Structure 1
Amino acid sequence: MIGVVGAGAFGSALAAVEAAAGREVRLWGRRPPEPPAGVEAVGDLAALAGAEAILLVVPAQATGPFLSAYGAALPDGPLVLCAKGVDARSFRLQTEIAAAALPDRPLAVLTGPGFAAEIARGLPTALTLACADPELGPALQHALSTPRLRLYLTDDVVGAQLGGAIKNVVAIGCGLIEGAGLGQSARAALMTRGFAEMTRLATALGGRPETIAGLSGLGDLALTCGSAMSRNFALGRALGAGLPMPEGTVEGVATARAACELGARHGVELPIAAAVADVLDRRATLAEAMEALLARPLKEE
């Protein structure tokens, strides 16, 4: 049995694809949700007892509060963290938050390029499963992979999380460029230099460059930096065009600020993340932020 905690779009999509593969799936929400076909909705976390894996699919900024409130009620078993973001209060990764709240709990991370709507429809998707435990990782890979959801395994938990988190910030920046009509050349430049920032920060924190070059970094970046299905890109595009911001959780907003703090703590320059944060917090207009980026000293690539 697979347990899914969090009945939003992504949690419901993961529940649906696992159920379509013939697995027993139980989906928990604070209010029992209307489940996808083949999924059992439950209102008590105890109903997830005995699960091969429990997927925690709540927003990144809600992980800490959720585990504080409900962590003691979570049945034993591997916990797979599915949110992409750095905590804006503690500047910790999702696994760091979970390890502090649930010591000795087996942990893994599910991340990479996958839109909830496409996963729910059964469209082919490949994601990254990151797990430091050499026995648990392969077991979870086989337990969660389906004919329509292919999971690639890595033990680089830090790199996988930072790729998924920082690409949201870059996607907001690309949306700003799109909304303001600054052109595809500018968007390509921002994506490429944003990828360099992702790599610098991840390696400074102990991640590996090849992880950032994989699905959890480059793959997710390619998906989210040009599609209106990306909430981060859509928010940036609306801001760039002077339109009202779309509703819903946009993970890159809080992560932009947190990434800048992480960069400062580790001596890593993140000019694009800083520019996005400045625009979001209205410390600079988009025009001022772009001018500052273009005026940076010339350097080798």
Structure 2
Amino acid sequence: MSEEEKAEITKIGVVGAGAWGTALAQQSANAGCDVTLWAREDEVVTSINERHENELFLQGVPLAKQIKATNDLAAMGSMDFIFMVVPAQFVRNVLSDLKQYISENAVIVLCAKGIEQSTGKLMTEVVAEILPKSPLVVLSGPTFAHEVAKGLPSAVTVASKYQRVARRLSDAIGLPTFRPYASRDVVGAEIGGALKNVFAIACGITTGRKMGENARAALITRSLSEMVRFGERYGAERATMMGLCGLGDLILTCSSPQSRNMSLGIAIGEGKTGEEIMSGRRTVAEGFHTSSILAKICKDEELDLPIIMAVNAILHEGKDIDTAIMDLLNRPFVDEIENKN
């Protein structure tokens, strides 16, 4: 490799070494980028650097040897792109710690899917508060970490108001088996990723209650309607909700127990409580936290999103599951497509 080619190598820092962060590090390394992966846990750093595997969060997937793991945030200081892949409720604190090390030219790639529980703010709003001058990209779409890390075909939305930045990122990490599609609708890309987690819990509950495939298909479709309604409140484009980061992610997350949120819902549907399930997990089901703040936003904004309200009532208000289901089924019959005239 020539010195000129070396100079052109994109430096990518991934903050958060859970399954998805590790998969994105693997994808970036396979695309030829120089990758540094930050992990909070010392055992994860050791596992990746010495055995080239994240034995804690992505067991059984051999990782590219050029991935360097660290628990020092200062290592992010020279990166071209910084992927934020920590759980949504930790984004603010980690970004605040990271701020002192990075330049204003570093592009923040937001990969966390959720809404801040304490403030009701979107992750893009949190990033803008802490790093107001940093270019921002939202990366979201229908992706299971194990499949991306193994190089199975996937596609994602890469959204930014700076299309040049979005395309530079796509060129850096894209491969035939990992296809980034550019978008300008940053808010829409984020909302799709946040809300689908709550709907996946709902689908899991119906699966755990053995309500059948018809019920799940209807629930996914009505969930999309709620996603569009919520997104339009924030200025998101309807077309974005129909794309990879909306409908695509919704279908994937609501259709397989591989989804942490759906598997949480299945366990709840089978009779376990949300608290006991969450306490026994090392990984985070973002929808558990997002549901409560979404319900508050719906009340404050007078948004009619009954599926979200039902999930919150089951998870956080102690409502009986069968009562919540019957309340949904007994809602008045209405037109499928809302008439805005």
TM-score range relative to shorter protein: over 0.9
Does 2:321 match 1:293?
no
Distance 1:267 1:213 in 2: 24
What is the aligned partner in structure 2 of residue 82 from structure 1? 111
Distance 1:110 1:120 in 2: 16
Instruction: Kindly indicate whether the alpha-carbon contact (under 8 Å) linking 2:76 and 2:101 is maintained by their aligned counterparts in 1.
Output: no
Distance 1:134 1:152 in 2: 11
Instruction: Kindly indicate whether the alpha-carbon contact (under 8 Å) linking 2:269 and 2:321 is maintained by their aligned counterparts in 1.
Output: yes
Which consecutive unaligned segments of at least 5 residues does structure 2 have?
1-10, 49-62, 337-341
Instruction: Kindly indicate whether the alpha-carbon contact (under 8 Å) linking 1:17 and 1:148 is maintained by their aligned counterparts in 2.
Output: no
Distance 1:31 1:253 in 2: 23
Percent identical across equivalent pairs? 43
Deviation string 1:201-227 (CA, Å, 9 cap, x unpaired) is: 001110000000000010001101020
Which residue of 126, 139, 147 corresponds with 2:176? 147
Amino acid at match of 2:40: R
What is the aligned partner in structure 1 of residue 71 from structure 2? 43
Instruction: Kindly indicate whether the alpha-carbon contact (under 8 Å) linking 2:115 and 2:194 is maintained by their aligned counterparts in 1.
Output: yes
Instruction: Kindly indicate whether the alpha-carbon contact (under 8 Å) linking 2:95 and 2:130 is maintained by their aligned counterparts in 1.
Output: yes
Distance 2:196 2:41 in 1: 31
Distance 1:62 1:47 in 2: 19
What is the aligned partner in structure 2 of residue 232 from structure 1? 261
Instruction: Kindly indicate whether the alpha-carbon contact (under 8 Å) linking 2:77 and 2:101 is maintained by their aligned counterparts in 1.
Output: no
Does 2:330 match 1:273?
no
Instruction: Kindly indicate whether the alpha-carbon contact (under 8 Å) linking 1:21 and 1:147 is maintained by their aligned counterparts in 2.
Output: no
Amino acid at match of 1:65: N
Distance 1:264 1:136 in 2: 37
What is the aligned partner in structure 1 of residue 199 from structure 2? 170
In terms of Rg, which structure is larger?
A: 2
Instruction: Kindly indicate whether the alpha-carbon contact (under 8 Å) linking 1:52 and 1:143 is maintained by their aligned counterparts in 2.
Output: no
Does 2:46 match 1:18?
no
Distance 1:184 1:104 in 2: 47
What is the aligned partner in structure 2 of residue 179 from structure 1? 208
Distance 1:101 1:220 in 2: 28
Amino acid at match of 1:67: L
Does 2:19 match 1:9?
yes
What TM-score does the superposition give when structure 2 sets the normalisation length?
0.85
Query: Structure 1 residue 30: deviation in Å?
Result: 2.6
Query: Structure 1 residue 134: deviation in Å?
Result: 3.0
Distance 2:323 2:93 in 1: 36
Query: Structure 1 residue 44: deviation in Å?
Result: 2.7
Which consecutive unaligned segments of at least 5 residues does structure 1 have?
none
Moved more, 35-44 or 101-110: 35-44
Q: Please give the secondary structure, in 2, of the residue aligned with 1:135.
A: helix
Distance 1:274 1:157 in 2: 25
What is the aligned partner in structure 1 of residue 58 from structure 2? none
What is the aligned partner in structure 2 of residue 126 from structure 1? 155
CA RMSD, 1 decimal: 1.5
Amino acid at match of 2:21: G
What TM-score does the superposition give when structure 1 sets the normalisation length?
0.95
